[in-house]
């Protein structure tokens, strides 16, 4: 199941998981969620809803589906009804009530489902910034809020009035994505996610509790500690991590905790990844290296990354490496 999911053979993974039954249900439900995301970029929204309704406790996933749906108000309400969610008009009242009660997650959820989803951005972003300003925050505290917030409809996120909120959301998603990539052992994209976050911090005017110097220290500590841990006895010795790097890395691991779904740990590896390149050579805009195996083109139609990296990137950071605010969907 794990190899099928990491190879992006989602339909096959769901079929196998259905036959295996209860023992494989966590992996099956995860494959169904990814398959539903695949249907969210093509006119198959009802199929995406049907896939999510096959999983237990699917309300949060259905909320994300409905929040991202770009139809007219009648179509939006039809999808809400199918997903057992209140109509968009009522969601404003529910959001205001949740806000009065101090429930951040419910406030964001109902604003995203309403006709004014942009109201969710400052609430969610302020919550995340408040969390990471404290030294003892954990990934599991902030990721669910950021993940939900990232499903705001693209046309709303790209509004001129949302520029500051969009920039801060992209930076926070980039950083949290880097931490998730470390936790899931997506080694090939960790440096790219840190670099992406640093470049956005450098080029955009934002107010987030992240510093480029801290990101560099964290990345260096991760590199030093993981390279020394994976080095075999036959290899020439590399410089061991310093005491300060060990301390930074230990703090990082405490923040990450363990990945709840063990089967998804490890790099994605699709069919054809080891095949030699043909004459049409593409260079990855993440690594600067020649892409071997399937290629994934970004929204500008020119920039390319490997399909393996695109899948891993989309699983930890839904937004394009180009920093445009467009969501990736390589599934």
pLDDT in tens, 273-307: 877 666 578 888 888 888 888 899 999 989 999 99
The mean of the pLDDT values for the chain is 90
CA distance 292 to 72: 42
H or E element that contains 297: strand 295-297
Please indicate, yes or no, if residue 53 is contained in any of the structural domains: yes
Please indicate, yes or no, if residue 319 is contained in any of the structural domains: no
Task: List Cβ neighbours of 297 (8 Å cut-off, separation of 6 or more).
Answer: 303, 304
Please indicate, yes or no, if residue 236 is contained in any of the structural domains: no
Please indicate, yes or no, if residue 181 is contained in any of the structural domains: no
DSSP code of residue 259: -
Please indicate, yes or no, if residue 13 is contained in any of the structural domains: yes
**Burial class (CB within 10 angstroms; exposed 0-12, middle 13-18, buried 19+) of 309:** buried
Is this model's pTM higher than 0.95 or not? no
Q: Which domain holds residue 4?
A: 1-85
Please indicate, yes or no, if residue 196 is contained in any of the structural domains: no
Please indicate, yes or no, if residue 222 is contained in any of the structural domains: no
> pLDDT-derived band of residue 229, with 50, 70 and 90 as boundaries?
low
Please indicate, yes or no, if residue 72 is contained in any of the structural domains: yes
**The Cα angle at residue 7 between residues 5 and 9, in degrees rounded to 5:** 65
User: Are 271 and 264 contacting, i.e. CB atoms less than 8 angstroms apart?
Assistant: no
H or E element that contains 305: strand 304-306
The total number of structural domains that make up the chain: 1
């Amino acid at each position: 199941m794990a190899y099928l999911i990491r190879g992006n053979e989602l339909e096959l993974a769901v079929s196998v998981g259905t036959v295996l039954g209860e023992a494989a249900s966590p992996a099956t439900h995860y494959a169904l969620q990814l398959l539903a995301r695949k249907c969210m970029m093509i006119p198959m929204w009802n199929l995406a809803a049907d896939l999510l309704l096959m999983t237990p406790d699917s309300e949060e996933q259905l909320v994300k589906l409905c929040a991202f749906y770009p139809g007219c108000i009648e179509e939006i309400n039809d999808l809400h009804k199918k997903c057992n969610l209140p109509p968009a008009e009522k969601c404003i009242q529910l959001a205001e009530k949740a806000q009065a009660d101090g429930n951040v997650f419910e406030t964001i959820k109902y604003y995203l489902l309403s006709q004014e989803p942009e109201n969710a951005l400052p609430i969610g972003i302020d919550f995340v910034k408040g969390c990471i300003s404290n030294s003892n925050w954990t990934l599991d505290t902030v990721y669910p809020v950021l993940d939900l917030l990232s499903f705001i409809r693209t046309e709303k996120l790209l509004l001129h009035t949302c520029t500051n909120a969009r920039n801060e959301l992209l930076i926070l998603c980039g950083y949290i994505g880097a931490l998730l990539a470390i936790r899931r052992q997506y080694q090939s994209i960790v440096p790219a996610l840190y670099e992406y976050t640093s470049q956005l911090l450098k080029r955009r005017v934002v107010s987030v509790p992240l510093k480029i110097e801290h990101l560099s220290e964290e990345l260096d500590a991760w590199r030093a500690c993981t390279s020394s841990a994976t080095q075999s006895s036959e290899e020439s010795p590399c410089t061991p991590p310093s005491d300060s790097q060990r301390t930074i890395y230990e703090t990082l691991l405490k923040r990450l905790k363990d990945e709840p779904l063990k089967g998804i740990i490890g790099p994605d590896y699709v069919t054809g990844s080891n095949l030699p390149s043909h004459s049409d050579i593409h260079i990855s805009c993440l690594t600067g290296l020649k892409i071997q195996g399937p290629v994934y083109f970004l929204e500008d139609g020119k920039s390319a990354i490997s399909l393996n990296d695109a899948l891993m990137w989309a699983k930890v950071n839904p937004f394009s490496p180009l920093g445009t605010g467009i969501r990736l969907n390589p599934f």
